[in-house]
Amino acid sequence: MGTEAIDTERLELVMEAAGLDLWENDLLTGAVTRKAVKIFAELGYTEAEAAGWLDGLFAIVHPDDVALVKGALADHLAGRTAQYRCEFRVRSKAGEWVWYANHGKIMGDDSGERGHRLIGVTFNIDDRRRKEERLEQQQRQLLESEARHRELLHNLHTAIIVHAPDTSILYSNPRADELLAAHPGWYFVDEQGAPVLPEAYPVRRVQGSLLPLEALVYGVRRPESARVVWLLVHAFPEFHTDGALKHIIVNFDDISPRKQAEEKIHHLAFFDALTGLANRRLLMDRLQAALAASARNRIHGALLFIDLDKFKTINDVLGHGVGDQMLVEVAARILACMRESDTVARLGGDEFVVLLPELDADIEVASQKTAMVAEKIRLALNAPYQLKGSAHHSSPSIGVSLYLGNDESADVLLRQADMAMYKAKDAGRNTLRFFSAAMQMAVETHAALEADLRHAVARGELRLLYQIQVDASGQALGAEALVRWVHPSRGTVSPMQFIPIAEESFLILEIGGWVLETACAQLAAWEQNDALRHLSLAVNVSAQQFRQPDFVARLAETVGRYRFNVARLKLELTESVVLNDVDDVVSKMHALRALGATLSMDDFGTGYSSLAYLKQLPLDQIKIDQSFVRDIITDPTDAVMVRTIIDLARNFGLHVIAEGVETEAQLAFLQLHGCSAYQGYLFSRPVPVEVLEALLHSSYQT
């Protein structure tokens, strides 16, 4: 018994420490052999109160739990469970429900039979249960709120897509599904119209800036369609506590209607309401862009300032309504003179400005082109206007400023054009003035030369000079005829200056015809002279001239009127002749050779695709351009170029002549590498025919 007493004591100690309350029932007798007492004290009941409940414990068990406890007990008693276990709530003296657990078991006696003593413990599990309850509740709330959230997203009128960090779609609401399904193959473009990969847009934005919220406007464009659907995209990245990206909620709204409204406002802000032309603001934007472009590509552009000459009178006499009508008409007429890339603006009133970007790298050509456009506008605005049933006349004064690069600001250029416009008014209106005196001069000279050139042939102002061509031994082979214009007041004008002007009109045909006529007459004269009969005469043919459909017929007609060996007539063509319509050129060249004429390619090496076409062309000679000859001694590239041309000519069975030979060193180099004919100041400058003949005479004497 002694050991048993000690064991019981130890057990009590352990139970105490573990907060367990031991109890025992005898199932046979139904007697409670050991009572759980601690729990009652814990619950705040006095021993007396507790004693009263010993049999009726269920009186203070939560009504919902009574069945559970009884069931667990019944299961164990019936042998359905190895242990009796249950958890239940008991009411404290203060009226609170406190969680307890019962763990029990039917114990066997010494015989090993299934016993009749039910022994168990009761212990407080309130903390654990409450923690669990709280968690459960949180879980429930979470689920509820998520469900609410989804429902909310589901019914939203804006599209929602939730992207995983790898941009795969975790969730999309019906509106998003609808949008994606309605526009298969659509892709995102940014505000500049550049495509944004649909799978890249949220992540890119999120990584690009670490803002938690981002509002962007994207367009969606269907392939091969200019139509853009504008979407306002908000991306909300959500992060894990460790900072890693959890997902991105992307919300987009179709804001096309708003965009269209904005565009309308933009239009109002940048365009003139009356004429629909650009307004000052847009003009200045475009001008600035054009200046920047010009700084990059070094191409001139121009600004025209146009002011109507009698507009105030029309406004005053016919009223503003009619004045407006006229301005609309003026706008349309100016536009009709323009290229796509030009900008026409109305600054207000009767002031119009035209921006002509990218005219030419050469300032003279750029001025010329500008003058041409301005003249076109001037004539267009001079045509009568039908206003209020009768014809009215008006005219413009036009001021021009040219620009290259962005040294001058947009404002300064506009002011210059304005000032030039006032110069045009001072000069009597209905005219054009350039801001810079030099440009004005260039344009005026051009205009004056063109006017004078019309009479040059008829007035006998053209002369031919002759420049000798020699062979390797210095013997004269012939000469090149070079035209000069002896202007009554300007003196001798170079063909470099007047041939391009002549090429702008039919004048080149008249001049070219005169040159050919004179050359043929000269050849016929030489034909009469034994000493000169062998000489050939090279005549330059301009591209425009050659392009004339009846060029061959005209030449045949001219040649037919003179008696000489046509093989002595050498036509010099340039690469620009061949540039377009090679087939036509080749057939013309064959026709010329059939007439007996000789063909030479002038300025060879300065054009491009030289090698490509050389094979196709029925040429007799190529003429190495003087630019290569000039630096033949000093520039290894030119030296190689010249040697290549000579080799090439030999391979194609062509004669080769070098022009612009000025020094003995150049001549020596050319001789060394097999060039067979020469022309240049070393032998003679272009001279009048008498001088040439004297030269030939003296060279025969030596």
Task: Rule CB under 6 A: say whether 601 interacts with ligand C2E.
Answer: no
CB of 516 to ligand C2E, least distance (A): 9
Size of the site for ligand C2E (CB under 6 A): 24
State the binding string over 511-530 for ligand C2E (x if CB under 6 A, else -): -x--x---------------
CB of 608 to Mg ion, least distance (A): 16
Could you say which of 203, 483, 523, 667 contacts ligand C2E (CB under 6 A)?
483
Task: Rule CB under 6 A: say whether 106 interacts with ligand C2E.
Answer: no
Half-sphere exposure of 439 (CA within 13 A, CB side): 24
Task: Rule CB under 6 A: say whether 600 interacts with ligand C2E.
Answer: no
Buried b (16+ CB within 10 A) or exposed e, 334-370: beebbeeebbbbbbeebbbbbbbbbbeeebeebbbbb
- The stretch near ligand C2E (CB under 6 A) out of 172-180, 253-261, 322-330, 660-668 is 660-668
Task: Rule CB under 5 A: say whether 536 interacts with Mg ion.
Answer: no
662 binds, among ligand C2E, Mg ion, none (CB under 5 to 8 A by kind): ligand C2E
Tell me how far CA of residue 655 lies from CA of 599, 612, 618, in angstroms. Answer: 10, 18, 12
Could you say which of 315, 367, 401, 467 contacts ligand C2E (CB under 6 A)?
467
- The stretch near ligand C2E (CB under 6 A) out of 167-175, 215-223, 370-378, 655-663 is 655-663
- Asked whether the beta carbons of 624 and 601 are under 8 A apart, the reply is no
How are beta strands 396-403 and 195-196 bridged, if at all?
unpaired
Task: Rule CB under 6 A: say whether 662 interacts with ligand C2E.
Answer: yes
CB closer to Mg ion, 37 vs 689 = 689
DSSP string, 563-618: -S-GGGEEEEE-HHHHSS-HHHHHHHHHHHHHHT-EEEEEEETSSSSHHHHHTTS-
Sheet (strand 32-34) strand order: 32-34, 20-26, 117-124, 97-107, 84-91
What values do phi and psi take at 617, rounded to 5? -90, 135
3-class SS at 218? strand
483 binds, among Mg ion, ligand C2E, none (CB under 5 to 8 A by kind): ligand C2E
Task: Rule CB under 6 A: say whether 494 interacts with ligand C2E.
Answer: yes
CB closer to ligand C2E, 476 vs 499 = 499
Task: Rule CB under 6 A: say whether 482 interacts with ligand C2E.
Answer: yes
CB closer to ligand C2E, 355 vs 571 = 571
- Asked whether the beta carbons of 221 and 189 are under 8 A apart, the reply is yes
Task: Rule CB under 5 A: say whether 342 interacts with Mg ion.
Answer: no
CB closer to ligand C2E, 356 vs 622 = 622
Structure tokens at 355: 């921006």
CB closer to ligand C2E, 249 vs 571 = 571
State the Cα–Cα distance between residues 530 and 520, nearest whole angstrom. 17
Task: Rule CB under 6 A: say whether 396 interacts with ligand C2E.
Answer: no
Task: Rule CB under 6 A: say whether 681 interacts with ligand C2E.
Answer: yes
Exposed, middle or buried, 84 (CB in 10 Å: 0-12/13-18/19+)? buried
- Asked whether the beta carbons of 642 and 624 are under 8 A apart, the reply is yes
Task: Rule CB under 5 A: say whether 42 interacts with Mg ion.
Answer: no
Task: Rule CB under 6 A: say whether 461 interacts with ligand C2E.
Answer: no
State the Cα–Cα distance between residues 420 and 433, nearest whole angstrom. 5
In sequence order, what are the residues at sequence separation of 6 or more whose Cβ sits closer than 8 angstroms to the Cβ of residue 573? 541, 546, 589, 599, 600, 601, 602
482 binds, among ligand C2E, Mg ion, none (CB under 5 to 8 A by kind): ligand C2E
CB closer to Mg ion, 214 vs 572 = 572
Q: Is 30 left (phi over 0), alpha (psi -120 to 50) or beta?
A: left
Could you say which of 406, 445, 626, 676 contacts ligand C2E (CB under 6 A)?
626
| Subset of residues 571 to 610 that bind Mg ion, contact rule: CB under 5 A | 572, 602-603
CB closer to ligand C2E, 203 vs 658 = 658
State the Cα–Cα distance between residues 461 and 463, nearest whole angstrom. 7
In sequence order, what are the residues at sequence separation of 6 or more whose Cβ sits closer than 8 angstroms to the Cβ of residue 82? 105
CB closer to ligand C2E, 397 vs 679 = 679
CB closer to ligand C2E, 323 vs 680 = 680
CB closer to ligand C2E, 248 vs 519 = 519
301 binds, among Mg ion, ligand C2E, none (CB under 5 to 8 A by kind): none
What angle separates helix 507-527 from helix 551-560, to the nearest 10 degrees? 30
Structure tokens at 190: 């940014």
Task: Rule CB under 6 A: say whether 542 interacts with ligand C2E.
Answer: yes
Task: Rule CB under 6 A: say whether 616 interacts with ligand C2E.
Answer: no
Task: Rule CB under 6 A: say whether 603 interacts with ligand C2E.
Answer: yes
- Asked whether the beta carbons of 538 and 481 are under 8 A apart, the reply is yes
- The stretch near ligand C2E (CB under 6 A) out of 29-37, 64-72, 446-454, 657-665 is 657-665
- The stretch near ligand C2E (CB under 6 A) out of 87-95, 431-439, 471-479, 489-497 is 489-497
Q: In the chain, helix, strand, coil percent, each to 5?
A: 45, 25, 30
CB closer to ligand C2E, 420 vs 507 = 507
Task: Rule CB under 6 A: say whether 506 interacts with ligand C2E.
Answer: no
Strand residues in 293-395 grouped as ranges (E)? 300-308, 343-348, 351-360, 385-387, 390-392
Q: What is the largest CA-CA distance in the chain?
A: 168
What values do phi and psi take at 276, rounded to 5? 80, 0
- The stretch near ligand C2E (CB under 6 A) out of 317-325, 370-378, 386-394, 539-547 is 539-547
Structure tokens at 103: 């763990």
In sequence order, what are the residues at sequence separation of 6 or more whose Cβ sits closer than 8 angstroms to the Cβ of residue 73? 84, 86
| Subset of residues 565 to 594 that bind ligand C2E, contact rule: CB under 6 A | 572
- Asked whether the beta carbons of 305 and 414 are under 8 A apart, the reply is yes
| Subset of residues 556 to 575 that bind Mg ion, contact rule: CB under 5 A | 572
Task: Rule CB under 6 A: say whether 126 interacts with ligand C2E.
Answer: no
3-class SS at 455? helix
Looking at the chain, the number of H-run helices and the number of E-run strands are 25, 28
- Residue with the two structure tokens 């779609």: 169
State the Cα–Cα distance between residues 513 and 407, nearest whole angstrom. 46
DSSP string, 422-433: HHHHHTTSSSEE
In sequence order, what are the residues at sequence separation of 6 or more whose Cβ sits closer than 8 angstroms to the Cβ of residue 408? 291, 401, 416
Which residues are registered as beta bridge partners of 470? 476, 678
CB of 269 to ligand C2E, least distance (A): 53
The runs of H, that is alpha helices, within 47-200 are 47-53, 63-77, 126-155, 174-182
- Which position's Cβ is nearest ligand C2E? 680
624 binds, among Mg ion, ligand C2E, none (CB under 5 to 8 A by kind): none
Size of the site for Mg ion (CB under 5 A): 4
681 binds, among ligand C2E, Mg ion, none (CB under 5 to 8 A by kind): ligand C2E
Task: Rule CB under 6 A: say whether 537 interacts with ligand C2E.
Answer: no
CB closer to ligand C2E, 370 vs 544 = 544
Task: Rule CB under 6 A: say whether 237 interacts with ligand C2E.
Answer: no
CB of 625 to Mg ion, least distance (A): 6
- The stretch near ligand C2E (CB under 6 A) out of 54-62, 119-127, 422-430, 674-682 is 674-682
Residues in the site for Mg ion, rule: CB under 5 A? 540, 572, 602-603
What are the residues binding ligand C2E (CB under 6 A)?
Answer: 467, 482-483, 494-496, 499, 512, 515, 540-542, 572, 602-603, 626, 659-662, 679-681, 686
